[in-house]
Structure formats: C-alpha cells, structure tokens
Amino acid sequence: EISLNDWTRFIDTLSKISSKAAADMRAFIIKGGGYANIPANELIDYAYALATKYGEASATLSAMMYDDIAFLSEAAVPAAIPAATASYGDVAKTIEGSAKFSENVDYLSEVVGRLVKQAGADTTLQNAIRDGAEVAWIPHGDTCMFCLTLASRGWQRASKKTIKNGHAEHIHSNCDCTYSVRFSESTKVEGYDPDEYLKIYQDAEGSTPKAKINYMRREAYALNKEKINEQKRAAYAKRKELESYEAEEIDVN
C-alpha cells in the first residue's frame, strides 16, 4: 500500500513545482504592465522557459515515484523515462488560446502551472503504457466533482486512449489530483476509494454525465459554502497584498 503520507508528500512537492512556475509567470506579467503591454513573443518565450525548467522537475519527480512503486512491487520493468516538456508550439498555442478567453493575470499564470503539471502526468502515463501497467486518477484535497467522477473509474490498463495528442487529458489548473500507477492488483493507494466515488456519481440527479456533475457541484457547494467563501476571501486578500508588494518593487526599480 502506498501510504497517505508518502502520496501526500509526492503531491505536495508536485504542487510546489507547478505553483512556483505560475508565480514566476504572474510576476513577469505584472512587471510588464499586463498581458496587453507585453510583446507576444516575449510572453511566449518566458512561458516556454518556465514550462521547460519546471516541467523537467515535475517529470523527473514523477519518474522517481514511478520507479519507487515499481521497485516495491518487484516489477521487472526498465527505469522510467521523464516525459518531454511542452514544446514551443504547444506553449504558444496554449497562451494565445487562453488569452482569447481571459487576459486575467491569474488565469494566464495558472495555465503555465498546468503545462508543468502535465509533464508529470505524461511521465506516469507514457511509462505505464510502455510497461502494460494500470493507472488511476487519484483525487487529493478539495477535489472538484469532475475529478471525483474521473476517479470513480478505478484502476484501468494504460493505453493510447488515455492520452490525447501525446499528452495526458483532464489536467486543469488549481488541482492536486494526478495519476498513480500499479503493477499488481494488490497495490493500493491509501484513501483511494473508487467505489465510494462511483456511488456519489450514480446517486446524483441527472440523465447525462454533465447534468450529474453539475448536480454534484451544487451539492458540494451547499455543504461547503462557508469554507469555499472563506478560501476565496483569503485568496483575494493574498492576491491584493502581492499586487501591492510587486507594484512597490516596480516603482523602486
């Protein structure tokens, strides 16, 4: 069994890597006066540099975790190969596409964090496909209902259907959920209960997956309304404090 402590330590480290990339991107955009005031090539170049630097760290960490699980499972497989980080074209497409939706500095920064996280997920999936292993989407923290639904699928044999255009699907911003791998049915991740997640999904009202997930979201919000609002207020206050600090730094320089 992969203990909750070990899994949490792995997830927290992955989160710190992607969060650092997002924070660096955010500082760059603010210092440049906002998305509209930064030449597109400079913005993409910087995002690409971050996606490469931190993506390599994310992929390497995921490869280490993969090898640890393989070793403890006594699986006779080659050492995991870290996945390639996002290409320049992928970064450009992601940044330009995201900016059409929103030029908000937080949104664009989180996109870079997502590219970094994707390198880690790609590493797990690509090696699992190579080795014929099983993977599962493991929820963590304040899991969104979409991720909980994905987690309800349980352990599945990794295949090319798991990835799209060479990359892991389902990777979104502000999320600490990710894939785990196993080489034997006896391997478990402490706290991961796909049957429980499936029951939540099946009990949700709605005739389509989208309707069920939206119902689950409403139910979760109703139960955690105060906690969610407090988190939003804390995040807003922290963002304003950071903006004030960065503005002072820009004025001084």
Provide the pLDDT confidence category of residue 247 given band limits of 50, 70 and 90: very low
The owner of tokens 């029951």 is 199
The amino acid at residue 170 is: H
Contact 220, 146 (CB under 8 A): no
The Cα–Cα gap between 52 and 204 comes to 41
The Cα–Cα gap between 114 and 168 comes to 11
Q: Which carries the bigger pLDDT value, residue 245 or residue 150?
A: 150
Other beta carbons within 10 angstroms of residue 12's beta carbon come to: 13
The Cα–Cα gap between 81 and 83 comes to 6
Residue 235 has pLDDT above 50, yes or no: yes
Rounded (5°) CA angle 198-220-5: 70
| Region 63-89 average pLDDT | 95
Q: What is the pLDDT of residues 119-171, one digit of tens each?
A: 999 999 999 999 999 999 998 877 778 888 888 889 999 887 776 666 566 67
**Residues across the chain:** 253
Contact 124, 83 (CB under 8 A): no
Strand stretches in 41-182, DSSP E: 134-138, 156-157, 163-164, 167-168, 178-182
Q: Which residues pair with 135 in a beta bridge?
A: 156, 181
Residue 56 has pLDDT above 90, yes or no: yes
Q: What is the pLDDT of residues 177-230, one digit of tens each?
A: 889 999 999 999 999 999 998 888 888 888 888 888 887 777 777 776 565 556
The rounded mean pLDDT for the chain is 85
Provide the pLDDT confidence category of residue 51 given band limits of 50, 70 and 90: very high
Sign of CA dihedral 101, 106, 110, 111: positive
pTM of full prediction above 0.85: no
Contact 21, 118 (CB under 8 A): no
Lowest mean pLDDT: which of 67-71, 87-91, 144-148?
Answer: 144-148
The amino acid at residue 107 is: Y
Token pair, residue 190, equals 């402490």
Token pair, residue 179, equals 């894939």
Rg over CA atoms, the chain: 19
The Cα–Cα gap between 57 and 62 comes to 9
Query: In the prediction, which pLDDT does 220 show?
Result: 73
Q: Characterize 145-179 residue by residue with b for buried, 16 or more Cβ atoms within 10 angstroms of its Cβ, and e for exposed.
A: bbbbbbbbeebeebeeebbeeebbebbebbbbbbb
Eight-state DSSP code of residue 79: P
